[in-house]
Homo-oligomer: A and B are copies of this chain.
Amino acid sequence: MKTENIPYKIYLDESEMPKSWYNMRADMKKKPAPLLNPGTGKPMTAEELGAVFCDELVAQELDDTTPFIEIPEEIRAFYKMYRPSPLVRAYCLEEKLGTPAKIYYKFEGNNTSGSHKLNSAIAQAYYAKKQGLKGVTTETGAGQWGTALSMACSYFGLDCKVFMVKCSYEQKPFRREVMRTYGANVTPSPSETTNIGKKILAEHPGTTGSLGCAISEAVEVAVGSEGYRYVLGSVLNQVLLHQSVIGLETKAALDKYGIKPDMIIGCAGGGSNLGGLIAPFMGEKLRGEADYRIIAVEPASCPSFTRGVYAYDFCDTGMVCPLAKMYTLGSDFIPSPNHAGGLRYHGMSSTLSELYDQKLMEARSVTQTDVFEAAEYFARVEGILPAPESSHAIRVAIDEALRCKETGEEKTIVFGLTGTGYFDMVAYEKFHNGEMSDYIPTDEDLAAARAKLPKMN
């Protein structure tokens, strides 16, 4: 086995951890399109956003000029409890594949939330606490974000109300129990506790819910409760900003050993992990200092980059949120129930959408049986049971490494391993039993969802 001088796991020292987040938008010449007020069609003001989000997070959401924003001391103290995360050299995977490629992955699963989501959860909880709020509301699908936010709120003594997509609530009772361990209040969505929930239940009795619907409920409760605000785990600019800690650590670890990656691969649902992982690399690209291939990987069953349109759309089913310009499948789009794992949001971060539109990154879609095949292969070789979401990136990293084997190229591949799959064993079981199928939406399916895009486009 080749081992060179690079350890299996590169850990930064605490003193080498980032002290600021990096804001990609500051280096973009053409900025991401602003959020619009669905009533007036005009850009959302800080005041309007302040009814939904914490003030400091609104400022971060709107700031597209400041490249570095200091990470408050309290957040850095929390980061030290589970960060720096390791950058792992996949020696075993390389050997098993017989590839000349050098593969690295940034592993964000070594914390109890099981994923990178904690990086933004703790930041959002901190600013809510600083503003003197009582609590926050949110939605969760696969449950990683809800778990992360529960942990963060528990740390700062904030109340945490989570609307969990009903099918996940029922299929993942353990996720729910972890959130309860951290004192969160978890409600299956749609619920009878909100007006929008009641409306959706009346229109679609027996629905198992969707992210878009859970967002609407969480926003309704936040806006209607004294001392509460709404927080979101992906899509938003502020979330990508917080998640830049992933990319900054990755780059610092690579720089320490003089490694320059050829390509960076990340899974993409709303874009929180991908946007964070690529941030400093994209920064170099935007400033013309270096070039990297950057590949977003999404499920074939929810292909917003590869088959969506770049347009203003609703962020939620209830249409209570601002409009965002993004690659979208339409806010009515719900992936087939046979789709396992997360990455099921109908749209994509505005920042990433703009970068994709400027052809600064690529996108690829993969089917879920191919994803689980890669997941099991990786688990056996590298000893980490990956989350289905993360396994999208593994799939493409393996494909690219096999391409290097054909061509003999010694490319350096970096991918994001966002989390672990301990709460996804129902999906793994389906895969083992040969009961997992693939669903790829037809052009007609997509056209029907697109037809409901807001008129302004």
Could you list which residues of chain A lie within 8 angstroms of chain B, going by C-beta atoms? 1, 7-9, 11, 13-14, 77-78, 80-82, 92, 110-112, 114, 151, 154-155, 173-174, 177-178, 180-183, 376, 379-380, 382-385, 420, 422-423, 425-426, 428-429, 432
Contact = CB atoms under 8 A, between A and B. Distances in A.
Nearest to A151: B383
A70 B81 CA distance: 33
Contacts of A77: 1
11 contacts: A7-B14, A8-B80, A82-B383, A110-B110, A112-B420, A114-B422, A151-B380, A151-B383, A174-B174, A178-B422, A181-B376
A154 B380 CA distance: 6
Contact of A422 (B78, B82, B376, B422): B422
A154 to B, nearest CB: 5
A420 B13 CA distance: 25
A183 B383 CA distance: 13
Contacts of A385: 112, 178, 181
A2 B234 CA distance: 34
Given A7-B14, A11-B11, A428-B177, A182 B380 contact: yes
Can you list the 6 inter-chain pairs with the closest CB atoms, starting with the nearest? A174-B425, A177-B425, A8-B80, A422-B422, A112-B385, A7-B14
Contacts of A173: 425, 429
Contacts of A380: 151, 154-155, 181-183
Contact of A92 (B14, B81, B382): B81
A105 to B, nearest CB: 12
Contacts of A177: 425, 428-429, 432
A112 B423 CA distance: 12
A9 B77 CA distance: 12
A308 to B, nearest CB: 33
A51 B385 CA distance: 34
Contacts of A422: 114, 174, 178, 422-423
Given A151-B383, A420-B112, A80 B181 contact: no
A426 B177 CA distance: 8
